Structure 1
Amino acid sequence: MSTTMTPVDASGPDVPSGSATSSGGASAAALWRGRARRLARPAAAVLSGALLYLSFPPRPLWWLALPAFALLGWTLRGRRLRAGFGLGYLAGLGFLAPLLVWTGSFVGAGPWLALVAAEAVFVGAAGLGIAAVSRLPGWPLWAAAVWIAAEAARARAPFGGFPWGKIAFGQADGIFLPLAAVGGTPVLGFAVALCGFGLYEALRRAVAYRRTGRLPRVPVTAAVAAVLVPVAGAGAALPLVDAGAETGTATVAAIQGNVPRLGLDFNAQRRAVLDNHADRTVQLAEDVARGTVKQPDFVLWPENSSDIDPYANPDAYDVIDKAVKKIGAPTVIGAVIAPQTGKLRNTLIEWDPRRGPVDTYDKRHVQPFGEYIPLRPVVRLFNSNVDRVSRDFGPGSRIGVFDLAGTRVGLATCYEAAFDWAVRDTVTHGAQLIAVPSNNATFGRSEMTYQQLAMSRVRAVEHSRAVVVPVTSGVSAIIRPDGQVVRKTAMFTPDALVDEVPLRTSQTPATRFGIAPELLLLGVAAGGLGWAAVRARARRTGTAGTA
Structure 2
Amino acid sequence: MPLRCLVALVGGLVLAAAFEPVGYAWLMPPAIAALVLSVRGLRPGRAWLPTLLFGITFSYAVMVWMRSVGTDAWIAMCALEASFFVPLGIGLAWATRLRAWPVWAALWWVGIEVWRSGFPFSGMPFGRLAFATADTPWADALPWIGVTGVSLLVALTGTSLAWVVLHLRDARRLSLAVVAGLAVVTVAPVLVPFQLDETGTTTVAAIQGNIPGDGTDIVAVHREVTDNHVRATEQLAADVAAGLVPGPDFVVWPENSTAVDPFLDARARTGIEAASDAIGVPILVGAIADVPGDDSQVLNQGIVHEPGLGGGDRYTKRHPVPYGEYIPFRGSLIPDTYGQLRMIPRDMVRGTGLEPIRIADVLVADAICFDVAYDEGIGGQVARGAELVTVQTSNVLFSKTAQLEQQFEISRLRALETGRWVVVAAINGVSGVVRPDGTVADSVGAREAGVLVETVGLSTTITPAVRIGVWPGRLVLGFLVLHTALVAITYRRRRRGDHAVGPVEERSAAT
Query: Offset at 1:534?
Result: 6.7
- Based on CA coordinates, which of the two structures has the bigger radius of gyration? 1
For residue 388 of structure 2, what is the amino acid of its counterpart?
L
SS at match of 1:437: strand
For residue 349 of structure 1, what is the amino acid of its counterpart?
I
Question: What is aligned with 2:508?
Answer: none
Question: What is aligned with 2:190?
Answer: 238
Question: What is aligned with 2:279?
Answer: 327
Query: Offset at 1:130?
Result: 0.7
Question: What is aligned with 1:141?
Answer: 103
Normalising by structure 2, we get a TM-score of: 0.92
For residue 80 of structure 1, what is the amino acid of its counterpart?
R
Where in structure 2 are there 5+ consecutive unaligned residues? 506-511
Q: 1:225 to 1:331 in 2, by over 3 A?
A: farther
Question: What is aligned with 1:510?
Answer: 465
User: Conserved in 1, the CA contact under 8 Å of 2:399 and 2:429?
Assistant: no
Q: Which segment is superposed worse, 495-504 or 374-383?
A: 374-383
2:80 counterpart of 1:128: no
Question: What is aligned with 1:172?
Answer: 134
Alignment of 1:257-268 (within 5 A): 257-262=209-214, 265-268=217-220
Q: 1:496 to 1:241 in 2, by over 3 A?
A: farther
Aligned counterpart in structure 1 of residue 400 of structure 2, from 413, 435, 445: 445
Q: 1:292 to 1:369 in 2, by over 3 A?
A: same
Deviation readout 1:367-396 (Å, 9 max, x if unpaired): 111110113333238942111111111122
User: Conserved in 2, the CA contact under 8 Å of 1:253 and 1:296?
Assistant: yes
Aligned counterpart in structure 2 of residue 485 of structure 1, from 440, 443, 447: 440
Looking at structure 2, the residues matched to 137 and 382 of structure 1 have their Cα atoms a distance apart, in angstroms, of 54
Question: What is aligned with 1:336?
Answer: 288
Question: What is aligned with 2:222?
Answer: 270
Question: What is aligned with 2:509?
Answer: none
Q: 1:452 to 1:352 in 2, by over 3 A?
A: same
Alignment of 1:61-100 (within 5 A): 61-100=24-63
Question: What is aligned with 1:292?
Answer: 244
Aligned counterpart in structure 1 of residue 262 of structure 2, from 306, 310, 322: 310
2:177 counterpart of 1:249: no
Query: Offset at 1:106?
Result: 4.1
User: Conserved in 2, the CA contact under 8 Å of 1:84 and 1:131?
Assistant: yes
User: Conserved in 2, the CA contact under 8 Å of 1:69 and 1:197?
Assistant: yes
Alignment of 1:79-478 (within 5 A): 79-107=42-70, 109-207=71-169, 209=170, 215=171, 221=174, 224=176, 227-238=179-190, 241=193, 246-262=198-214, 265-339=217-291, 341-342=293-294, 343-377=297-331, 378-380=333-335, 383-478=338-433
Looking at structure 2, the residues matched to 283 and 263 of structure 1 have their Cα atoms a distance apart, in angstroms, of 22
Looking at structure 1, the residues matched to 323 and 207 of structure 2 have their Cα atoms a distance apart, in angstroms, of 28
Looking at structure 1, the residues matched to 191 and 279 of structure 2 have their Cα atoms a distance apart, in angstroms, of 38
For residue 56 of structure 2, what is the amino acid of its counterpart?
L
Looking at structure 2, the residues matched to 244 and 420 of structure 1 have their Cα atoms a distance apart, in angstroms, of 20
SS at match of 2:97: coil
User: Conserved in 2, the CA contact under 8 Å of 1:262 and 1:443?
Assistant: no
Q: 1:291 to 1:381 in 2, by over 3 A?
A: closer
User: Conserved in 2, the CA contact under 8 Å of 1:305 and 1:334?
Assistant: yes
Looking at structure 2, the residues matched to 281 and 225 of structure 1 have their Cα atoms a distance apart, in angstroms, of 58
Looking at structure 1, the residues matched to 200 and 328 of structure 2 have their Cα atoms a distance apart, in angstroms, of 45
Q: 1:347 to 1:520 in 2, by over 3 A?
A: closer
Question: What is aligned with 1:52?
Answer: 15
Query: Offset at 1:252?
Result: 0.9
Looking at structure 2, the residues matched to 308 and 538 of structure 1 have their Cα atoms a distance apart, in angstroms, of 62
For residue 301 of structure 1, what is the amino acid of its counterpart?
W
Looking at structure 2, the residues matched to 308 and 462 of structure 1 have their Cα atoms a distance apart, in angstroms, of 34
User: Conserved in 1, the CA contact under 8 Å of 2:252 and 2:425?
Assistant: yes
SS at match of 2:206: strand
Q: 1:416 to 1:226 in 2, by over 3 A?
A: farther
Query: Offset at 1:89?
Result: 1.1
Where in structure 1 are there 5+ consecutive unaligned residues? 1-37, 210-214
SS at match of 2:436: coil
SS at match of 1:497: strand
Deviation readout 1:323-370 (Å, 9 max, x if unpaired): 111112211000111246421111111011232222222212221111
User: Conserved in 2, the CA contact under 8 Å of 1:267 and 1:273?
Assistant: no
More strand by share: 2
Query: Offset at 1:284?
Result: 1.3
SS at match of 1:306: coil
Looking at structure 1, the residues matched to 113 and 469 of structure 2 have their Cα atoms a distance apart, in angstroms, of 16
What count of residue pairs does the alignment treat as equivalent? 499
Query: Offset at 1:196?
Result: 0.7
SS at match of 1:390: coil
Looking at structure 2, the residues matched to 525 and 396 of structure 1 have their Cα atoms a distance apart, in angstroms, of 29
User: Conserved in 2, the CA contact under 8 Å of 1:437 and 1:469?
Assistant: yes
For residue 471 of structure 1, what is the amino acid of its counterpart?
A
Looking at structure 2, the residues matched to 487 and 308 of structure 1 have their Cα atoms a distance apart, in angstroms, of 30
Looking at structure 1, the residues matched to 464 and 227 of structure 2 have their Cα atoms a distance apart, in angstroms, of 43
Q: CA RMSD in A?
A: 2.4
Query: Offset at 1:179?
Result: 2.1
